[in-house]
Amino acid sequence: MNRQGKEQLVKQYRSRQITHGIERAGHRALLYATGMEKEDFEKPLVAVVNSWNEIVPGHIHLRKLGECAKHGIVESGGIAKEFDTIALCDGMCQGHKGMSYPLPSREIIADSIEMMVQAHQFDAMVMLPGCDKTVPAHIMAALRIDIPTIIVTAGPMEAGRYKERSNLTLTDMREFVGQAQTGKISMDELSEIEKVACPGPGTCAMFGTANTMGCLTEVLGLSLPGCSTAMALQAEKEEFARKSGRQVLELLRREITPRKIVSEAALHNAIVADMALGGSTNSILHLMAIAREAHIRLDLDSFDRIGKIVPHLCNIKPSGKYAVRALGEHGGIPAVLKAVERFIKPEQLTVTGVTVKENLSGVTMVSGDVIHSVDDPLKKEGGLAVLRGNLAPDGAVVKQSAVKPSMFRFKGKAVVFHSMEDATEAVVNDRIKPGDVMVIRYEGPKGGPGMREMHMTTSLLVGRGMDESVALITDGRFSGSTRGPCIGHISPEAAMNGPIAAVRDGDIITIDIPARKLEVALSDQEIQDRLKTVVHPKKVKGGALARYAELVTSADKGAVLIAPSYEDEE
């Protein structure tokens, strides 16, 4: 960097609030205690926002990537200071009370980053998220703080192998449980499979929420092209971290911040890519929360409108047959964007300092079995669909790319549960029969609280071969790895006196994905009469979840937290 560039940078330093002036002598004394030297006070102070820990496979390797990012920052004349955020593993939280915590952790992570970065007046950030909620949380914080930022996502895990089967993912692992329970495989075989299904560090090898959001981070323009599909343990991922450390100083020099990147065009492009990828239903919650931090209005109708014109192109599990590695080997996100180029808004700025159009200028898209062309799609519509009806006046979401065509239209009798545990027990004990529609309520953002994923229940259904005879609807969520006729995010939720609270065993429920309908065979008056007698269970009395339940909005608003005094301003 030349002298003029350095002088321009100095004028922009927020960190001078703590490094310059006689009244900041105490601040400098504290910084000396961290190993800084006098000349370091003239350099930009860059936060390396890591999420490393030893319990989550998607994060266990991030310490090394943090070191690489710091090297890049120092090479470009910055001072790098690293700190950690919390990171929860949705996979380990599945099927028990711990599943109440991942979605609320999104807000806690974003808040904690805001507090750390604003308190210490960092000039820029390199962020290293990995698993499901960490990625949107880091993006939300980046937009809220709005200083130059680059995100280095953790990278996908390798797929597992067992005997003649390759491309094993956690989706398969959970479905093997259902097979073991019905005697299709032995318990010894299940034990062998669980040892090899997740062979090492990285985000789970299918298009679950982690890899979906990693890819969408790149589409939003907040990661360098190719970063999201660079495998967790490849040397290429370390180089992306180093390059990102160097590039963030260039963003600082040019005053390019996240809000200049995450525009309406960027969010449009993210939805387009999401549909082509067959991404997680959770991405809808997260993109809406991200839009709110960017001060951009985004609603469910935007997803459905785009989903009707952008086809599903990527043959990646759980909506296809390959693991995420294959996507990277066939060009990654740049190739996907090239495939949907006719649908995107190419003038969007990115962390490269140039637009999407310029980033794609040298990219060639070769269609095949991994990334199909728009003219030869896997499915004519995008991966996600929004349903409405008297059961979901404010909307519900389904990953239609993971639903078998025979279940696109389904009518059945309701079997109602007030918790995921009760529903799972019913499946295990063979109380669910072909033609049933499982209704799991009081699992929404407020009612859960925490909007748990119903993945344990859905995996057992698929493992038992019931995904073509039984449907499941809920005001809760699903894992990104869920497949089958599973409709979630029903809004309003039961705890907010939504119509799902009025459903009783035996009511006839109609699902029509092509028509975007979710209906119960009750009149509006019958629903209202039933709701008058409903007593809503209160599941928590204190702690973080009680506070969350008081402040969280509905799923159709992204399940973000809004203080009551600010609701009128929304």
For the chain (length 570 residues), average pLDDT per consecutive 10? 51 88 97 97 98 98 99 98 98 92 98 99 99 98 99 98 89 85 92 95 96 98 99 98 99 98 99 97 97 97 97 95 96 98 98 98 91 97 97 97 95 97 95 98 97 91 92 93 91 98 98 98 98 93 95 97 67
User: Pick from 130, 114, 135, 48: which is nearest to 83 by CA?
Assistant: 48
C-beta separation of 466 from 195 below 8 A = no
Distance CA(511)–CA(402), nearest Å, equals 15
Q: Which residues contact 33 (CB under 8 A, 6 or more apart)?
A: none
* Whether residue 377 has a cis bond before it, omega within 30° of 0: no
List of domains in the chain:
1-43 (no CATH), 44-157+200-359 (3.40.50.2300), 161-196 (no CATH), 384-564 (3.50.30.80)
Q: Are 499 and 373 in contact (CB under 8 A)?
A: no
Residues 45, 70 contacting (CB under 8 angstroms): no
Q: What's the pLDDT at 19?
A: 96
Angle at 259 between CA 47 and CA 277, to 5 degrees: 95
479 labelled catalytic: yes
pTM of the model: 0.95
Cβ proximity of 327 and 206 under 8 Å: no
Residues 6+ apart with CB under 8 A from 100: 448, 449, 450, 452, 545
The predicted pLDDT at position 565 comes to 64
| Catalytic annotation, pick one of 319, 479, 481, 491 | 479
Strands 124-128 and 436-440: unpaired
